[in-house]
């Protein structure tokens, strides 16, 4: 449901979406290249993109419709700034293979899910630094849950914002979008929290937003 399909949004919104997405992908690639080698990130990047790609198939029935997982928070926490291009690739595949969203709206949809990933990365990194705690696992788990929930809420708000540009006709749809995603916010918070807690214990170097300050 956070995927907007073709033929709904107006041309200026679509064009702006593409412009912002292309700019952000370029910045993300340039930034991570400057920070270090992208080569080591590629396997992690493709595994996470694959996870993001299939996560949209996990449907949860809510009311008359069904909504699916998004996992943008987890993408941000693990991949850091590279989550943005990864989400773009994941969305391209979803659009062509699953019919989620559309081709002309790829720019807008990447913003809707990529920006929350970047915000999740920021929150997770800052929170990890600010909150002093003895147990890294529980701290990471709680922070992960919080970040995962916030990311979905933000993704839904951004999508709602995009639909808001269409005017009153979509007011009901926006309301439905928000209400039906409340369970997803909770479910994803639990999933992201447990995945992050597990990874911190088993393989902390996988988490991009932890890796930077440790070394």
Partner 1 sequence: MKAKLVFAVFAMLLVLSCLSISVVSAHRLHVVHKISEIEIEAYFVGATPCRNANVTVYDKGGNLYMEGVTDDEGKFSFPPKIGMKEYTVVVDAVHMPGHKAEAVINLSQEAAGASAGGMGTEMPLYTRAIAGFGYLIGLAGAALAYMGWKMKRKLGDQKIENRE
Q: For the window 93-132, what string marks contact with partner 1 as x by the rule CB under 8 A?
A: xx--xxxxx---x---------------------------
Q: E strand or H helix at 97, and its extent? A: none
Task: Locate the DSSP E strands across 69-121.
Answer: none
Q: Does the protein bind partner 1 through residue 76 (CB under 8 A)?
A: no
d(CA 203, CA 144): 15
| 3-class secondary structure, 173 | helix
User: Binding partner 1 by CB under 8 A: which of 129, 130, 134, 172?
Assistant: 172
**Residue 4 in tokens:** 């907007």
Alpha helices in the chain (DSSP H): 11-35, 41-55, 72-79, 83-93, 106-130, 136-164, 171-202, 208-214
Q: Does the protein bind partner 1 through residue 42 (CB under 8 A)?
A: yes
User: Binding partner 1 by CB under 8 A: which of 23, 31, 65, 190?
Assistant: 65
Residues that bind partner 1 (CB under 8 A): 1, 3-8, 38-39, 42-43, 45-46, 49-50, 53-54, 57, 59, 63-66, 89, 93-94, 97-101, 105, 159, 163, 170, 172-174, 176-177, 180
């Amino acid at each position: 449901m956070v995927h907007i399909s073709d033929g709904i949004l107006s041309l200026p919104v679509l064009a702006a979406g593409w412009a912002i997405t292309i700019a952000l992908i370029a910045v993300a690639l340039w930034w991570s290249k400057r920070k270090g080698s992208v080569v080591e990130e590629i396997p992690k990047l493709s595994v996470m993109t694959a996870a993001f790609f299939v996560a949209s198939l996990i449907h949860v029935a809510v009311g008359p419709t069904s909504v699916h997982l998004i996992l943008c928070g987890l993408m941000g926490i693990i991949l850091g700034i590279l989550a943005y291009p990864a989400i773009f690739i994941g969305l391209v595949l979803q659009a062509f293979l699953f019919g989620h969203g559309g081709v002309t709206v790829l720019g807008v949809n990447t913003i809707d899910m990529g920006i929350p990933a970047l915000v999740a990365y920021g929150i997770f990194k800052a929170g990890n630094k600010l909150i002093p705690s003895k147990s890294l696992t529980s701290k990471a788990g709680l922070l992960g849950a919080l970040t995962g929930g916030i990311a979905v809420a933000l993704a839904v708000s951004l999508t709602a914002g995009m639909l808001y540009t269409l005017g009153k006709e979509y007011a009901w749809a926006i309301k439905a979008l928000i209400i039906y995603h409340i369970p997803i916010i909770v479910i994803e918070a639990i999933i992201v929290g447990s995945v992050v807690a597990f990874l911190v214990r088993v393989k902390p170097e996988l988490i991009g937003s932890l890796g930077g300050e440790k070394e």
